[in-house]
Every structure is written in structure tokens, then in C-alpha cells.
Structure 1
Amino acid sequence: MASKDGRGPSIWDDFIRRPGALSSSISYHIYIFFSSNFYFEDVDIMVKLNFDAYRFSISWSRIFPSNGTGEVNEKGVAYYNRLIDYMVSKGTIFNFIFQPVISCQNMFLQVIGFSINLFRNDYADYADFCFKTFGDRVKNWMTFNEPRVTAALGYDNGIFAPGRCSKTYGNCTVGNSGTEPYIVAHNLILAHATAVQRYREKYQEKQKGKIGTLLDFVWYEPLTRGKADNYAAQRARDFHIGWFLHPIVYGEYPKTMQEIVGERLPKFTAEEKKMVKGSFDYIGINQYTAYYMYNPHQKQPKVFGYQQDWNAGFAFAKNGVPIGPKAHSYWLYNVPWGLYKCLMYVKERYGNPTVILSENGMDQPGNVTLPKGLHDTVRINYYKGYLAQLKKAADDGANVIGYFAWSLLDNFEWLSGYTSRFGIVYVDYSNLKRYPKMSAYWFKKLLDRRSKH
């Protein structure tokens, strides 16, 4: 159960109770599989498959169940200690840890501007507790997972928690799509930098760990060779990856965003710029797919919104040819060359930072039967293509040091609920039993070859 052992409510607990919020008919109450009942088995599966790294989250509302501050939930701390100790005992030594953004019920009110410094400091205190408590064994940290998604989908169109937006752009009762996404992103960047500063000042020298953040990146390819479509694709990249990566590399937002968003875009003070710039040891990149982009020649919208500020149109085919084979999710196309272009873009535009490919994978329908689910050759072909492009980027100088497949288990996939299966291990939702798929054994064989060289 999500509320087991003292976990506090999160904004997602409220959001997924809303009628029509999820496409899954299965109760959200079982959405945490990796629980005290299963984590020994799941770690053992990873060991048998020759994996040497695992990314997992530390839930803010499980550590500090009362609005992210105050009394520590010792049962939650004990759970994470057991998990970490077991992984260490099995030799899974690179434990990448991130946490769900704005976990606690009322913290989102702070992040949209009502109490900016309070949010930053509360988040840094939570991170500090994790560094102090788990940092003797955990050496790799990520502050946020896909903060752009939180800011955009939670506050521009309202399809993610907390479901805020202008009425023009979503089914929301409150919000402002033209301002709140930028305020949220700004405060997440400052919270990230504050936590990194805390780690570097208090823990890094002794614990010998590293810290970064984790960003999603869709590759945006111009639909045509025309100048207008090239500019549209670049605007999309600036508003997507540049929104977060540009400040932590250069200390400011991309010029494109500054010019288009104008006074609606928050500004960093001189002191904040100094803290934000360089606030990472590595960058995690979640990369799945690519789209074509074109210039739509649209007029100035009457109601401002983050997505409208891009002034860019999406296309999924060119001259009638899809950009790639489609997976189950409506947004996911198999476009391996997009991964190569993403990595080379980060290399060339952002000074070739150390990068971890922190998510990559594809899904099949949630109602697929066990025999058909285990025979996931389409997933193997996806991974083959993307890993080949990852190697090509590394050979061409991109500083990529790690790769994480998404995901180990079939799990609760945001708005898709249980209607989408990304795992390389099949989960029977009726009893939560695990069954490794063909893709899991393909990875095992691949890693067997690695260990012999």
C-alpha cells in the first residue's frame, strides 16, 4: 500500500483520485511494487541478470510525512536502509537516487511562488537528511527526476499533479499557464542548486560521492530544410532541455526563452547565478523518442502558455513516412538516431559534460498475456538500435559513462496506470509475481560478454 508504514499523502495521491485522471481501471493503491515484500527478490533478479547499477527513489513524503518537514518517519528510513544494505551486500554498488518532485501534499503551494525560500530550504533540509543518513553507502545522487515534466504537465496543461493551468489549455479550475510553469521551474532549479551546495559544503569531501540532476530530452528534428522549421526545432530544444540545462551550465536561461517569455520569465540574482552555474557533477538524460518540428506561422495567442511560447508544431511523419515504428504509448516512436543527436547536441552546446543515459525503453500494452509479454522481441530490437547509437556517440566523443534501461519491472506508468508495460520483467498484476522477459535474458547475455572482456 502506498500509505504503508507512515508515508504521508502526496499531490499525486489526490490527483489520481480525480475522475478521468488515469486510463487504468486498477486501483492505484498497489502502485508501489518495489516494497518490503519484494525488494529482496527484485535485487536478486538484477544480480542474476548481471546488472551492476540500480536507480531508485527516496520518497520525500515517506521520510517527512507531514508536509515535507518536521518529525522523521523512522519506519521509512529503516526501509531504505534495508534496501541499500541488501544491494551493497549483493555488489550493486552504483546506487543512483532521485526523489519524486514535490512529494508532499502542500509543498506545491510553495513552489509556485507563495514561499520560495521556504521551499528551497525545506527541500535542501530533506536532501541533507538523505546525504547524512545514506551517504556512507550511496555515492551517486540525482536531485530531481524530469523537473521539466513537473513544471510543464503539472502547471501548463494540468494533466499531471497538481493539475493547474489556464482554462484555455486544460481541464483545470485554477492556475496560469503563462506564468506558473516558469515560476515552478525557477524554484526547482534553485532548490536543486541549494541541495548541491549543501552536499558539496558538508558531505562530498568525506563521502566521495557525486551529484547531478536528471532531465528528459526528446530530439526535435526540423521537418524540412527551410530556415523557419530549423528555427522552430531550435526553439523546441531551448524550451525543453535548455530550460534546465542552460542555467546549470551557464547561469541563465537560453536567449530564445528570455526574448519570447520576457517579463514572465523569472530572473536569477547575481548570487543565485553563482550558485546555479556549475551545480552538477554529471547530468542524467532520459531519452526515448524524436519528433519532427515545423514553424506553424501562428499569431500571438490571446492567453499565454508555456507550450504556446514554443511557436512550434509537432509532426510524426514526413512525406507520409512515420519518423519511426510506434510503440504502445501514443508519444513513443522508435528513433535510435534521435539518441545520437541528443548526446551530440549536449556535447557540442553544453561543453561535453559527463552524461548518464538514465532512462531509455519502450512499452507494450498492459493487457498483454504472459506468454506474449515474455516474447518481447520488439523491445530487444529497440534496445539494440539505441545502444548502437549510444556507442556511436561515445566513439564520437560524447562523455557518456552509464546507461539505465527503463524499466526493470512493469509498473504504474503515470497517467497510463497499468495499461502500459515498460519492464524487462513481466509483473502479474493479480499477484505481483515476476517473470523475466526475453529482453531481460538478452541484457544478461550482453553483460556476460562485457564481463569476459
Structure 2
Amino acid sequence: MNKILMVTIFLALASSGGCGNVYSRKDFPKGFSFGAGASAYQWEGAVDEDDNQDNGDITSDGYHKYKEDVQLMVETGLDAYRFSISWSRLIPSKGPVNPKGLQFYKNFIELLVNHGIQPHVTLYHYDHPQYLENEYGGWLNRKSIEDFTDYADVCFREFGNHVKFWTTINEANIYTIGGYSDGLLPPGHCSSRSKCSSGNSSTEPYIVGHNLLLAHASASRLYKQKYKDIQGGSVGFSVFTIGFTPSTSSTNDEIAVQRAKAFIFGWMLGPLTYGDYPDEMKRIVGSRLPVFTEEESALVKGSSDFVGVIHYLAASVTSVTHVKSQRDPGFFTDMGISMKGRKLHWELYIFPRNCFLFCLDKYAIVPWAMEAVLEYIKESYGNPPVYILENGTPMKQNLQDTPRIEFLHAYIGAVLNSITNGSDTRGYFVWSFMDLYELLSGYEYSFGLYFVNFSDPHRKRTPKLSAHWYSAVLKDNTTFLGSQGIAQLQSNFSSPY
């Protein structure tokens, strides 16, 4: 029997940094952007308008309340706002652009710019047009590369005079694993017929990942050839990151960490930087991993002007022996990772259980993980420009969200440390600006700085304690930084809640 290394990942609980360190916005480089974000499917709602064919609901009703939301952004002091365009709203069927959807995004973008807020636009954040799934299977088919490029062309042409930062694909690695290996994310493919009606977990993640990279590279080439000289923007690609550390000093655990990094980071960043997949992946996945032609390799290499980092978690990695089961194929089986861990009174299953990112009322504060991620990207991928496009912590609804403040305070400090140590990190975005429909937890947990009353037909917004704190940071008010400052903030704002 063949034996492979298995990696058991436990969410790291040790806190580092805390809230004792006090920094100022002035400590960050000139031009550094502080922002927050949301996605179209999770924020807009209004699925029955504009001939939109995706399967959302009202959620935060951003489609109708965007003017109010932009005013909240202004009051908070955001430099930038990260959001996505719904491909399904803009081009709801094979044919012409939907004029109502087009006008909505134009109005929203122009309003942001008129208030001095820089739009950071994501072209693809999970909401795939159903007609393309029906026609040829979506991202599993190489036809998707051409259709995505055509969609990107519309966005560049219509919005590019105001948009200078484009992210093509949102956290492509986790989207691909969740959607095509474990069946948790749309379109819900996996090998297990008890969970998924279709899919092949041993091949589809790699096919889709390959097509996503080529679609990104194709759109990036289009922008450089047709728009960049006129519009002066940049095109990037985002990945989900984890701060890995070995659970012991053993050689096996060190090797396991490098393996985890190759699969989680290198799968996407390797081709974007060097034009090919990591050797470790090619050796393990073998013929199931698509091969770049020379032309494709040249197209993908250097196609990302920046790396968008999505970061929430840290993990310690332990190497153990395991017999690979042919009945349990998939990305994590190939990587040799068991994502099950127990600490204290809770249990975390990242995959295949429906708890990814949402099993805890708040995440452990481990800012060293953010620093480790940024250091690894700096050292392994040529120190590209980086934007932290998502970072935050989930909580049950509570306006007094002090744990969220402690989390954000520590991680923003970690970003500053990384910049001091040479990382070319240029922006930080809190996930999320307001409470949203979360894809895996619905409304049970929220990440928002602003509370949204989903029981209210008007979806009233109310600032949480974290909104006041973040606003103070952005306005360079150091009064509420550090442990004593946070306690003072909580005292000052206790009566309204």
C-alpha cells in the first residue's frame, strides 16, 4: 500500500500582538488605501429587477440603498471600496448588455468617485451566469475563457474611466476547491453523490483552476492592449491565504508546511509569477493537472499587476501517515491534508463540513499569520504589489463588537509590520462594510462594521462599535487605539446600545 503524508490542520489559538501596540495612520506609506468591501450577490439583492437571473434575495438591498451606503462610507472615512459586478446582472442572457444593470453600476461607481472613494472592482465573485452553466458547463469548458474576456471588455469599456483597480477572479483557489472538489460553493460539484448530483473531485478542480488562470490572463492582456494607455489602471488576481506553521520542529512537519504552501499559494501564484505550477503539485497530481502550452505559460506569467490577499486563518500543520483512499478523491486528498481539528470546546471542519469560516463566534487573534503570509509572498513570488482585499472576523449580531475591534487592531498592526519589513502592501480592506448574506452561514454570523436589520423591510443600517473605531483609525484619531483606547471607546458608546 502506498503511504503519503497527511497534514492535520488546527486553527491556531495563540494570540500574538494583541491590542497593546499603538500605531497611527501616518505610520503607513503615503497613498496606502484603507477600505472595506462587499460582493454583488451578498449586498445588492433586487434579483427580480433588470432581468437578473441569479438566485439571490433581498439581502442588504444595496441595489436600492447604494446612495445611503456611499454616504456611510464617506462618514466612516473610507479611501476605497471593494465590490464586485454581477456578470448575471450586466449580461443576463446571451446577447446585448442589460441597460438597467449597466446604469446601476455606472451610477454607483460615479457616486463613489464623486465622493473621493476609489472603486476596487472584482469582476467575478462566485455569481456565474446560469445560461453559461446550462450551455456548456461554465468554467469546466474552455469556452468560458472567451466569454469572460468579452464580459471583462464590457466592464473595462463602460466603467474603466473611473475604475483604476480591477480584480479578475475572487479567491480563485478556495472558489475552485469549494465549488468543484467539496461541493460547498456554487456550482456544487463533487464526487460524492450523497452530497452532489454531479462532479469529479479528482479532476474538475484542476481543470477549473486552469481555466480561471487563462481567463484572467486573457482579460489582463486585453486590458493592456486596449485600455491601459488610456485609462491607466491595473489588473490583479486574488487568492485565499492561510498562515501555516509546523506543529513541531520535525523534518516531516516542515515538509508538510511546504507542501501545504505549494497547493494553497503556489497553485495560482506559481503560474502568475513563473508560468507554471509548482513541481510538488505536478509530481503528486500527475496527469490530472493540466499542462500549460508555451504560449499559455507566456500569457499567464506576469499577467497580474497585483496580488489580492484574502486572509482570515492560521493553521499549525502536522505530518501523519495515511493510506490514500481512491474512494475519497479531491484536492485535500492529493495534498494529504486532514482539515479536522479539535481545540478547547469546539471542533472545526474546514472541508467537507459546512463550517468553513463560520464555526466560531470569533476567530483567534493571530496577527503573526498575516505577517507570515505577506513575508512568504514577498520572498517566494518577487514581492509583488499586494492589497489585503478581505480580513475580518465573524460574530453573532452584537453592536458592542469589541472582539472585532481587537482583531482588526492586531491585523492592521501586522500589515504595518510587514510593510516595515519590506512587503509592498498597498491597501487594507475590512470584510465587510456592513452585514451581508454570507454564502455558507446565511445571516447567522456577520462580519459587518454596520449592523443591518434584516427583519426591517427598509434594512436599516446602524454603526457597530467597530465602525466608530475604524473611522477613528482612518481619520488618524489615535484616542481609541490600544487596549485603554478601546475600553474608552466602549464606555463612550455604551449608552446608545
Partner of residue 359, structure 2: 330
Alignment of 1:75 with 2:100, yes or no, is: yes
After superposition, residues 101-116 of structure 1 pair within 5 angstroms as 101=126, 103-108=128-133, 109-113=136-140, 115-116=141-142
Residues 450/398 of structure 1: CA separation in 2 closer, same or farther (3 Å cut): farther
Asked whether the equivalents of residues 148 and 215 of structure 1 are also in contact (C-alpha less than 8 Å), the reply is yes
- Structure 1 counterpart of 2:47: 3
In the TM superposition, what is the alpha-carbon distance from 1:99 to its structure 2 partner?
2.7
**C-alpha contact 1:213 1:283 (8 A) present in aligned 2:** yes
Are the aligned partners of 1:358 and 1:403 in contact in 2 as well (CA < 8 Å)?
Answer: yes
Alpha carbons of 1:198 and 1:230: their partners in 2 closer, same or farther (altered >3 Å)? same
Cα 1:226/1:400, change in 2 over 3 Å = same
Contact 1:376 1:437 in 2 (8 A): yes
1:364 aligned to 2:388?
no
Q: CA deviation at 1:111?
A: 4.0
Match of 1:280 in 2: 304
Residue aligning to 2:70: 43
Describe the SS at the equivalent of 1:280. Answer: coil
**Which one has the bigger helix percentage?**
1
1:205 aligns with 2:260: no
Range with bigger deviation, 406-415 or 219-228: 219-228
Q: Secondary structure at the match of 1:358?
A: strand
2-side partners of 1:308 and 1:133: how far apart? 43
Task: Note the 1:83-232 alignment, pairs <5 A.
Answer: 83-101=108-126, 103-108=128-133, 109-113=136-140, 115-116=141-142, 118-167=143-192, 171-232=195-256
Distance in 2, matches of 1:316 and 1:172, equals: 25
- The 3 A distance-change label for structure 1 pair 77 and 394 is same
CA contact (8 A) 2:122 2:169 kept: no
Structure-2 separation of matches of 1:448 and 1:63:
35
Q: 2:205, 2:170 → 1: CA distance? A: 16
Structure 2 gaps of 5+ residues are 1-44, 349-354, 479-497
* Shift in Å, 1:336: 1.1
- Give how far 1:33 is off: 2.6
Report deviation, 1:386.
Answer: 0.6
Aligned to 2:466, which of 421, 431, 439? 439
AA aligned to 2:149 is: A
Work out the CA distance in 1 between the residues paired with 2:85 and 2:343: 42
Q: 8 Å contact 1:228–1:295 — kept in the other structure?
A: yes
> Could you tell me how far apart the structure 2 residues matched to 1:321 and 1:433 are?
33
Q: What letter corresponds to residue 272 of structure 1 in structure 2? A: E
1:401 aligns with 2:426: yes
TM-score, normalization by structure 1:
0.88
Residue from 436, 441, 444 that aligns with 1:416: 441
Q: 1:9 to 1:208 in 2, by over 3 A?
A: same
On the 8 A contact 2:87/2:123 being kept in 1, the answer is no
Deviations 1:189-209 (A, max 9, x none): 100000000000000011011
Partners of 1:327 and 1:391 lie apart in 2 by: 28
Secondary structure (helix, strand or coil) at the match of 2:158 reads: helix
- CA apart distance, 1:415: 1.5
| 1:58 and 2:91 correspond | no
Q: What residue is the counterpart of 2:29 in the other structure?
A: none
Instruction: Give secondary structure in 2 for the equivalent of 1:288.
Output: strand
Q: CA 1:327/1:248 → structure 2, altered by over 3 Å: closer, same or farther?
A: closer
For 2:288, the equivalent position in structure 1 comes to 264
Partner AA of 1:87 in structure 2 = L
- CA distance, structure 1, for counterparts of residue 345 and residue 421 of structure 2: 32
Match of 2:380 among 320, 344, 349: 349
Alpha-carbon RMSD: 2.4
TM-superposed deviation, 1:317: 6.7
User: 2:109–2:119: 8 Å Cα contact kept in structure 1?
Assistant: no
The amino acid across from 1:302 in the alignment is: Q
Name the aligned partner's letter for residue 47 of structure 2: S
Rounded to whole Å, the distance in 2 between the matches of 1:7 and 1:248 is 36
For residues 81-133 of structure 1, what are the alpha-carbon distances to aligned partners after superposition, in whole Å with 9 as ceiling and x for unaligned? Answer: 110111111111343333324511143444454x41x2111100000000000
Deviation at 1:32, TM superposition (A): 4.9
1:257 CA drift (Å) = 0.5
Counterpart CA distance in 2 for 1:328 and 1:264 is 29
| Counterparts in 2 of 1:318 and 1:379: CA distance versus 1, 3 Å | closer
Query: Which ranges in structure 1 are unaligned for 5 or more consecutive residues?
Result: 14-27
C-alpha distance in 2 between matches for 1:409 and 1:133: 27
Give the partner amino acid of 1:336: P
For residues 85 and 302 of structure 1, the distance between their equivalents in structure 2, rounded to whole angstroms, comes to 53
Letter in 1 for 2:85: I
The answer to whether residue 311 in structure 2 is matched with residue 311 in structure 1 is no
| Offset of residue 9 of structure 1 | 2.5
Contact 1:223 1:315 in 2 (8 A): no
TM-fit CA distance, 1:185: 0.5
Contact 1:7 1:61 in 2 (8 A): no
2: CA distance, partners of 1:351 / 1:328: 29
Aligned-partner Cα distance in 2 for 1:363–1:133: 35
CA apart distance, 1:327? 12
Residues of 2 paired with 1:450 and 1:391: CA distance?
17
How many Å separate the matches in 2 of 1:95 and 1:161?
24
Distance 1:74 1:54 in 2: 24
CA separation of 1:327 and 1:73: change in aligned 2, threshold 3 A: closer
Is 1:285–1:355's contact at 8 Å kept on the other side of the alignment? yes
Would you identify which runs of 4 or more consecutive aligned residues in structure 1 move more than 6 Å? 317-323
**Are the counterparts in 1 of residues 145 and 215 from structure 2 also a CA contact under 8 Å?**
yes
Q: CA shift at 1:294, angstroms?
A: 1.3
Match of 1:34 in 2: 62
